[in-house]
Amino acid sequence: MTDCTLLQIDKEAMVLALQGERELSDLYISCLLARNIRYQEDLVDQLLDSGEKRLARILLLQARFGGEGTRATVILKVSRATLADMADITSERVSFFMIGSGS
C-alpha cells in the first residue's frame, strides 16, 4: 500500500548472521512469530467473523491501533473497492458500514 525498498539476502549469509548475532536472531524469530500469529488471526477472522468485524479489524490494523511504541500518524488513501477486497465483502457493504444506514 506504500512505497518500500526490499533487500534480498542470500540464505548462507542470513544463516551466518542469525548464528552470530543473538540480537538479530531474537528480532527475526519475534517477527516470524508475530507474522504467524497474524496469519492465524486472519484465518479465524475469515472463517468466523462478519463482514463488519473484518472491515473494522482491517481499519484498526491500518491505523496501527494497539501497536507497540509511538509511530508517526500516516493517513493512507484506500479505496472502498480495496477495502471490500480485503474484507471479502462488497463495496456497497463497505459504504454502508463506513457511512452508516442513513438514519
**pTM for this entry:** 0.46
The pLDDT value recorded for residue 100 is: 66
Which pLDDT does position 72 carry in this prediction? 57
Q: What is the pLDDT of residue 15?
A: 95
Ordered by start, the domain boundaries in the chain are: 9-48, 51-103
Q: What is the structure's pLDDT at 75?
A: 66
Residue 54: burial class (beta carbons within 10 Å; 0-12, 13-18, 19+): buried
* pLDDT for position 2: 78
Instruction: Tell me the backbone φ, ψ of residue 67, rounded to 5 degrees.
Output: -75, 160
Whole-number pLDDT of residue 103: 43
Q: Which residues of the chain have pLDDT under 50?
A: 102-103
Q: Residue 51 has what pLDDT?
A: 79
Q: What is the C-alpha to C-alpha distance for residues 12 and 90, in angstroms, rounded to an integer?
A: 45
For the chain, the first-to-last Cα distance in angstroms comes to 33
pLDDT for the residue 73:
62
